[in-house]
Structure 1
Amino acid sequence: MIKKLNSTSGSALIWVLAICIIFAVLGMAIGWVALSMNNRSINNNIQQQTYFTARSAVDTVYNQLGGEVKEGEDNFSKYLNEHLLSNEYAIYIDDMGFDEDMGKCSLTGTYDKEEKIVTLSATAKKGAMEDTVILTAKRETTDSENIWPNPTLASQLNSNKKLINNLGKDNFIYYLKESNEEDKLDFWPQNMKEAIFIYVKEDETLTISEMSNWDKSSPDVFVYLEKDATLHFALKSNAPTIFPLYINGYTGSKIKITPNNKEIAVYGLSGATVTDGKINIDESKKIPPSGYGPTGVPATGEESGVKTDKWAKIQYSSGS
């Protein structure tokens, strides 16, 4: 009987050990699966975080497009106007400055001036995870292209018979109320305006010899001559042959060039009569990039005539 019990107890011990091993393996397997699922959940959360961080970056920049820009003040809208929407048409921001738990995010932006489409691409990184979101948006303008800004919004173009300097710095609409002495149109070198308007009062004469600090591409420069007003190009021996102006005139308005055997080219001419000299049209510049019509007329009454920017999102997409 004792021998039989000893034999049975040995067999039971083996079964106990086997069951313990099986449960240990199952426990390890369950633990490994749980850990794997936990890691996957963490990675998914981080992946979602990088996506939403990148999405927040492009939305942040988009919301500042077309924002108010005041001279003498530095803000993000001003930065975008100077670097993305004017002159360079591209930006790169190494760090958007988000909180640490959102990860680090960089952003690039480009602007197609002809198509008026901006492309913003943000890449967010957190740990080993990375995600890129791309937003494209189109610039739209309001108001009719044949309406120019209201002269009531204008600054005075001349002071004591001389034209003021730095056109485009403090305003983009100017009014000549009294004939000036021969002078040049001087533009602010850091101009951010898409268009500048010059209105010449009825029966008065604007006399210019040249245009300075302007690169012949931006901003568009529009001149409107009221009834019987005159635009006088007083050319010197080394005078330019192209004046990048879009000129429109009311009944009786005139343009004259001295010496009268000279000829120049402008970007657009309508309404006014050339009485002395000759003016040609530069056909390559018939359509002003600013969106204002080359033969527009000033707004009247309470209408401002100033185009306002609106941006419409085209799509979001994921980067590779």
Structure 2
Amino acid sequence: MIKNRSEFLFLYDVFYSNPNGDANDNIPRNDGEFILVSPQRLKRTIRDYLLDYKGKEIFVRKEILDETKRTLKTREVLYSEYGSPNVLMQRCIDIRLFGGTFALKSKSGSTSESTNFSLTGPVQFAFGKSLNRVNPEEIQGTCVIPSTSDQDDDEKRQGTFTSRYVVPYALIAFWGIANENIVAKEQKPLGHTLTDDDIALMIEAMWKGTRNLTSDSKVGQLPRFLLQIIYKEGSDFHIGRLNSLISIQPISDKSEEDIKDITDYVVDFSKLDNLINAHKEKILKIRYVEDILGQLNIVNANFLANAEKIKF
């Protein structure tokens, strides 16, 4: 069981890709100035990596119920296969991390008599947000589908116009927290709790899972920096919103809108550095990982001198 609170800061960049499309028209989520990425998108990346690359059991997943009809199992069906919250907590790392809400049917099996059962997850992320201002772009293309009919060559070469939305370049910052009090209150009574090993796997999944995103809309995303601040047991403290304590500074005469590459800016950590120094008596350890090329230019992060490098 984790006994220490942790905070996370995760930075990754996107290059002509769509980090999180809107549900209606798949335009990259944005607030008019900055690109937004939902916590659910990051959790999906974590879950997929843990399932596909680490062989961990994941509850929130797509699973075929009927191969003929290609229907998916509902959460209620999946939950019924586990039988109890205790078993669910024991077997599914994503439930230990993020919690979940389930509809439990009555003994009669009536959906109308079902009750909701909820587990609060100790690990939560706020919306990710780009540090630079950027506008999504629409790119048009042509899709040609080969024909085996008797059409002549000109007809066969005809295609359908397509369009897709991309983000030319953005540095996305996520902030998250692992709260030890939730573990003690919600999970300990069930007999199975979030562990430090689970947290380590989640950190690996954030990093490597982002690097392994290779779908047409997600290719072009790279993890650049990940920070974990571990607080002393019993401190009941965290700094909060770490992503709001760093800023992007374009180099030369560039504006934020001119940023198109990782070499066009530096990331200023001075506000975060000052707060870490002010509350260092409450901090047990700081851990971090940076991209293998070391391309992200971070300035005013003196706390990294005594931090531990994360190795996967």
Question: Whose strand fraction is larger, Structure 1's or Structure 2's?
Answer: 1
Normalised-by-shorter TM-score class: under 0.3
Higher relative contact order (CA 8 A, sep 6+): 2
Question: Whose helix fraction is larger, Structure 1's or Structure 2's?
Answer: 2
Report the TM-score when normalising by structure 1. Answer: 0.24
